[in-house]
Every structure is written in structure tokens, then in C-alpha cells.
Structure 1
């Protein structure tokens, strides 16, 4: 994490254990999520599309502004973005009067039928071109410095880092073949290819899957169902043909990684061509339901076309993104966050307030029901062992179901913590340390770890 003088900084001495890796009594600098009047910066959570190279949406497309709290629905490229050309591109729907969706890139080009609210480019290193001769609307807000604008006043022009990629993907040697109108439950594991025919159904369970290729072909009413907490890793390319549904039951924490670059793979990749003339590494032809937490294609193009029924609800990360069809796609921001935010390894406490009724206001970073299994309460002499602590030692922990998550940087306890400690035999003046115990990783089964706040003690009144 970069540290800037404009940030609100705290020096927090903590004991942090993440999985089997330990950092004892480290000093951590956290830059907090800004409120009004504080520094603003780009955040990965705010991007519905973020790519390294080319972001091209020439065909019919709608981006729907996020309606939940605390996030946006921006589109970003570290190099080039082109909006408009073949049909109406509404970024967002309601542009230009709705100004809560931005297109952000050093180089931006607007073509025919582009309807945009907010453009951020970089005049110092890039360019802005409006070549439209018909139907262009907006932008209502045009800003020319990627490091100093309404969304980012840090002076740093870099867009956020991507989530971590799981490393080199090694497929198995056995294909999974589902014939036309067939169905199969496939347990987690390493396979070669997943091949699904017309009206085929595949059921993927909670866990990690590895494939060489995924090919749903030909078009026609296929379904791929997921359980919650499913991770799919693909070595080469993915083809989801038309009229199919990907996660129609909207299982949560389902992510897809595709390692491959654009290419023919001996003629086996029959996807449409990407930004540099080779078949794209990921393709969904539309006319169905597509809902994943995120899709990440770091070395290739994400290709989309076809109608969205309902809107695709996904974050898209990759090398490039391409949509040129006259069939309208509709994009929603993902309703969940399934990655560890860059610069923050885990949920940790940075301060707390003891209320008069014995409840606690707890402040920190990365708080959610997905990152906090419990608020643990320890005596100062508690033995803290890497990978071996799953609760406090006072019998007074507060499970996540009894916590009110106010925001990513605060939760409140519903219960009287002081009363619970009194009931456990502790009296006035007794001192305690607070900590966060992380959930078990349902994909790997590993203990999530913990983070103990040591700069301030809870003292019983």
C-alpha cells in the first residue's frame, strides 16, 4: 500500500496470522476509506470492468449504476478505452444526468451513439478524442488528470491492482463430457476438458476445479449450476455459447480464472476474434443468465455479446474487454466481493469504543461477514500460536451473527460484552485484548487465521 500525507494514518501494533504465515507484533500503516473532505482514491471494489490494455464497447450496451451502499460501477483501463460506434452505449443507463459511473483510462475515444456521464483521461500522458458524428450524449463531467480528479486526489494515476491469480494452472488428464440433454454432478478436482452439449446440465460443488478448456457448444439452453464457494481455474480458454445460463441460482462466492491468452490452440478455439485478431480467451454469447462474483483473464480478451436476461452481475478483470454486437448486453456490479483487497491482507482492528451499555463500537479495515468469523476476547497473557487459535480464552467471544456490520471499517456488538465478561468471573480493572478470527476457507478447508489488536486494552469498568 502506498502511503500519502493526505491519508488519515494510524500506527497499529498487531499480531497477525494469515493461514500458516505469521507476522509478530508488526507495525502496520493503514490508509482509511475516505469520508467527505478526506483523500479520495480509486478502489478495485468500484470497477465493474478493469483491464490492462483495451476496453472496447462499440455495440449495444447498458451499464447500470450500483444501487447498494459504498461502491460504484466504473469502467477502467490502464491504456485505452473506446465507447460507441455501432449502437447506443449507455454508461450508465440515464447518462448523462446520472454521474455515478465513470470511464477511466489514459486514452479515451468516444464514437457514435456513446451516452456517457463521466470521463477521466490523462492529458499529460494520453489523449481524449470525440469522433462521433451521430447520437453522442455527454459527458456531463470531463476530467483530464487521472491523479487529481473527483474520484482520486492522491496524485497517483495508477488504477487498482487486480486480485491475486492462483499461479500456474495444471489441468488433469480426464475429460468431463456431458452429451446433449445430459446432466452430471462433477466433484471438485483436476480435469482436462469440460465439454457440454445442447441442453446439457452440469453441477459444480463447493471447492476448486481445474480444467484445460471449458466448451459449452453448440448453442442451446444449457445450464451450469454452482454451490456457494466454488473456484474454477482454466488453463487455455472458455466458450459459453448462446442461450445458456451460468449460475442461474446465483450461488455466492463463485469465481472464474482463465490463464490463457487469445489464440487458436490448433484451431480448437472457435471464439470470435479479440482486439488483436486472435480468438478470445473467454467468450459468452449471451441470451441467458450470467452471475459470477468475478471473472479474471489476465493474459487475454473477455468477449461478450448477446442479450442479458437478466443483466450480467459480475466484475470483469483482464487484459482486454471487447463487445461489438448489436445485441444489447446489460451489466450490473457484482453484489459481493470475493477477493482480498490489494494492500489489505486481512480484517484487523484499529480502534474501539466501549459504550455505556457494555457494547462495543469496533473500527478497523476489511470488515464483513465474509472476513470476520468472530470478535475474540483474550487475556493479555493468552498463548497465541500461529495457525492454532480459533477463539479467545475468556469464553466471551462475539460471533459474527451477533455483530452489526455498519461499513467496511466498523461493526458494533449487539450484546453487552462487559456483562458477558462479568458473568465469566472477571471484575473491575481486568484487562483484555480484542482480536478478529477469520472464517475457515471453504475451498481449501484451511483455518483462516487471526489478527490481534495490541495497541489498546479493554478495561472493565
Structure 2
């Protein structure tokens, strides 16, 4: 089972199958009773609603068009955990139809609008960030400007974090043999580990269902190349990817095709000839445009995603990574992916990732996999409480909040019904005392074993 290693200490005795069966039982019961719990009512950021989501810099200076998603149940938002810049060089329409089309938002703590930016909806964070409108020509919108990333029309949870990225597959280990497709050549490459993939002018490569590992992917020089995929294909790249101009990436629109690029921006001894990323080194990923690009998602966690126009037809992909940069003034056109192929992993074990102490003394708790089947209690510990793997069944403050006193708002949020402050005060604790929160898992009814526990250590609860 997976937990947020950066935020939690997990001692686990259950199994993924037990948690998954429990969650299915909970949802089935809700359907049989004709009752859908408040899971569907909370307004919160969702990964499937972001066409672009990055950790650092999101820079689209134009010309650019973002096309609003026309299907049901998702959006086409652009998000950065730090900074977004829209406009500056040419008309940059986010979305096409801005500002009257209002279902595409730019979301970041710090946002800058430049010349020719046409935007409908801006969400920034006035408490921690900034909003700058430096345009002197051609700016349109926003029609809706919201100043709190934790309390707005798309997210009323109080938590300002944007959604977590899909899981990265871990360290990528390439093979030892290159795949070289000469100009005009064509080759079917079976799944496996290779060193570099080189594709020449008008070259064609066919990738089959399965997992591929490469050190580098280089489609160069420009000119009418094609890379075809079967459904359910995963490509992992250690260093960088170059897709030159006039090429097609998945022109047959095979589904469930994923590209991971582990590398950071850099020249790699001069081998990486991509345009520079946001900090002046060649980008880890680059597509030069003038062709068809359709993947479920591209994930570049350590480098820049560099895109260049023209888009013929619009690119249909979700883009996740460290930074996103439009690298020319040729018009780029972007569509939201129609897939959510990262919703495949097994159900995670319940763990806390954040919490808010409300004015009435109750807690709003954020995390993963919260349900009556995975949370026996919210446990409250003193910071020096002894924690023994498998041997902890409660906190040590006599202030735990049992499952019956928790309201499960969604799979990643529950609220305490009673004042935690009052319970701690009644137990003899006073203002300034600090505590750790944790989840105690239910006992396994088949084996009688303790389910385990998960302690959140990134943040303490301080009594007011």
C-alpha cells in the first residue's frame, strides 16, 4: 500500500484487498439505500480537472488557445503550485471564448497577466502570493477573480493544496542497446529496456502494449515522422525527449498511453538540443508541433515541458511536471485529455496529509482513503508518545475521536463532530500544548489482528 512518505509514518497490518472490499461495500450500501453521501457535494480541486498542473513555473505567453472541455464531469483548468504567467507576446485565450466562457480557470498562488491575455477565471492566494496585471495592450478579463485558493467557487475545503500528481514509477533503468530507425524506415519495437531511441526523417516506429524504458528519445531532424502506439502502453525515459517538427505522436489515438520523463533540464554533454526551459538549460521534454499529439498524460517531475505551435489538430493530453513553457509565438492549441488513466492504482491506506482547527474547536482533516471501513478512530498523541509497530490501538491523551463521531465528507476529508479542544482541556491539557494526529485502522474481522496506524508528523495541533 502507498502512503505519503513525506508527511506520514505508517505502521500497517491490513491488506489492500481488505481496504478495497470495504470501500466497495460502503459505496454499494449507499447506492442500495438510494443515498449518495456528501462525497459528491464538496467543491474541491480534482486532478482530472487540470489540463496542465506543475510545481513551479507555468508560462504561456502566446499565441495560444485552450479549448474548454465539452464533455460532462470535468474541467480544463491550468494550475501551478507556485507561479503562472499568461500573455505577453500574442493573443493568449484561456479559454477560447474568454471571458464569456467561464469553465477554465488559471490557479496559482502567484499570477501575472501580460499583454494580449484573454482569461475568464483567475484564482490566486492573496494571503501568501500575488496577482499582477502588467498588460498595457489587449488584455481581456478575468470575468471572475478569486483571492483565496482554499475558499472559492472550485474549492471550499479550506485546504489550498492543488491535487497530488500521479505516482511516478520509481528510478528508471535503461537498457544497453539503441533502437535506430533511419530516414524513411519503419520498425516494430517490442516492450523492453533499451538505451536510446533515434528516429530519422519520415521514420515510423510502432510501440506495442506494455512498458518501455529508454535513456533518451530523439526524433530528429524535423519531418513527417510517426510514432504509433497500441492501447495500454507506458514509456519511461531516463534523461530527455525530443519530438521535432512535422511529426505525429499517436495519430491513431490509442488509449491509455503514458509518457514519464525522469530527467531534469540540461545539455547531457550536448546531446540535448531542445530549446531552453524556464531556467536556461535545455528542456527535459520538447515537442515542436505541426502534427498530431495525443497521450493520456505526460509527466516530467524534474524538468520543463516545452511546447511549440502549430497544433494540427489541437494536442489532446494532460501535462504534469515541474514547469510548463510555450517556446515560440506560433499558435498552440490545447485540448483536455478524454481519459483518466491514472485512476488505476489500488486503494491507499488511510493517512492524514493536513488539518485545520476551526473556531469551534472541531477539526477538518485532509488525507487519503477516508471511510468507515478504513478509519477506526482519529487518535491524538503527545509528541513523545511511544509508537510500537502493530501495538498502538489509541492515542495517549484520552481524547481520541471515534468513528461514530466523525463525519466523512469525501474520500480525502472528514470532520470531527465534537470539539477536540474541549476534549483535550477536559483531559488536563492547557493552552500551548502540542499534539500529533493519527489514524487507527479497524481490526481485521477475519484474523482479529490490529489493522495498524498512520501518524501525521509534518504538523502539530497546538491548543489555543
- 2:187 equivalent in structure 1: 184
- 1:161 equivalent in structure 2: 164
Alpha carbons of 1:267 and 1:33: their partners in 2 closer, same or farther (altered >3 Å)?
A: farther
C-alpha displacement of 1:292? 0.2
**1:134-149 mapped onto 2 (5 Å cutoff):** 134-149=137-152
2: distance between equivalents of 1:343 and 1:107?
A: 34
1: distance between equivalents of 2:38 and 2:87?
A: 33
**1:313-392 mapped onto 2 (5 Å cutoff):** 313-340=316-343, 344-345=347-348
1: distance between equivalents of 2:273 and 2:127?
A: 40
C-alpha displacement of 1:23? 4.9
- 1:285 equivalent in structure 2: 288
Question: C-alpha deviations, 1:97-123, integer Å up to 9, x for none?
Answer: 000000000000000000000000000
8 Å CA contact 1:40–1:154 kept in 2: the answer is yes
C-alpha displacement of 1:324? 3.6
- 1:221 equivalent in structure 2: 224
Alpha carbons of 1:127 and 1:292: their partners in 2 closer, same or farther (altered >3 Å)?
A: same
SS at 1:265 equivalent: coil
8 Å CA contact 1:217–1:241 kept in 2: the answer is yes
- 1:98 equivalent in structure 2: 101
Question: C-alpha deviations, 1:49-80, integer Å up to 9, x for none?
Answer: 00000000012110000011100000000000
Q: Kindly report structure 1 stretches of 4+ aligned residues shifted beyond 4 Å.
A: 15-18, 22-35, 341-346
2: distance between equivalents of 1:293 and 1:84?
A: 27
C-alpha displacement of 1:41? 0.3
8 Å CA contact 1:162–1:342 kept in 2: the answer is no
- 2:58 equivalent in structure 1: 55
- Match status 1:127 vs 2:125: no
- 1:66 equivalent in structure 2: 69
1: distance between equivalents of 2:64 and 2:189?
A: 34
- 2:237 equivalent in structure 1: 234
8 Å CA contact 1:197–1:222 kept in 2: the answer is yes
8 Å CA contact 2:16–2:346 kept in 1: the answer is no
- 1:389 equivalent in structure 2: none
How many pairs align? 336
2: distance between equivalents of 1:135 and 1:305?
A: 22
8 Å CA contact 2:19–2:347 kept in 1: the answer is no
- 1:398 equivalent in structure 2: none
Question: C-alpha deviations, 1:350-390, integer Å up to 9, x for none?
Answer: xxxxxxxxxxxxxxx99xxxxxxxxxxxxxxxxxxxxxxxx
2: distance between equivalents of 1:106 and 1:40?
A: 19
- 2:47 equivalent in structure 1: 44
2: distance between equivalents of 1:232 and 1:67?
A: 29
2: distance between equivalents of 1:128 and 1:288?
A: 35
**1:197-208 mapped onto 2 (5 Å cutoff):** 197-208=200-211
TM-score by length of 2: 0.68
Which residue of 75, 78, 81 corresponds with 1:75?
78
- Match status 1:268 vs 2:252: no
- 1:443 equivalent in structure 2: none
8 Å CA contact 1:163–1:342 kept in 2: the answer is no
C-alpha displacement of 1:24? 8.8
Structure 1 runs not aligned, ≥5 long: 3-14, 347-364, 367-408, 410-453, 455-461
Question: C-alpha deviations, 1:184-210, integer Å up to 9, x for none?
Answer: 000000000000000000000000000
2: distance between equivalents of 1:330 and 1:203?
A: 26
SS at 2:162 equivalent: coil
2: distance between equivalents of 1:234 and 1:210?
A: 6
8 Å CA contact 1:95–1:115 kept in 2: the answer is yes
1: distance between equivalents of 2:116 and 2:347?
A: 40
8 Å CA contact 2:79–2:107 kept in 1: the answer is yes
- 2:439 equivalent in structure 1: none
C-alpha displacement of 1:340? 2.5
- 2:393 equivalent in structure 1: none
TM-score by length of 1: 0.69
RMSD: 2.9
C-alpha displacement of 1:17? 4.4
Alpha carbons of 1:173 and 1:50: their partners in 2 closer, same or farther (altered >3 Å)?
A: same
8 Å CA contact 1:55–1:322 kept in 2: the answer is yes
C-alpha displacement of 1:239? 0.1
Structure 2 runs not aligned, ≥5 long: 4-13, 28-35, 350-367, 370-410, 412-445, 447-464
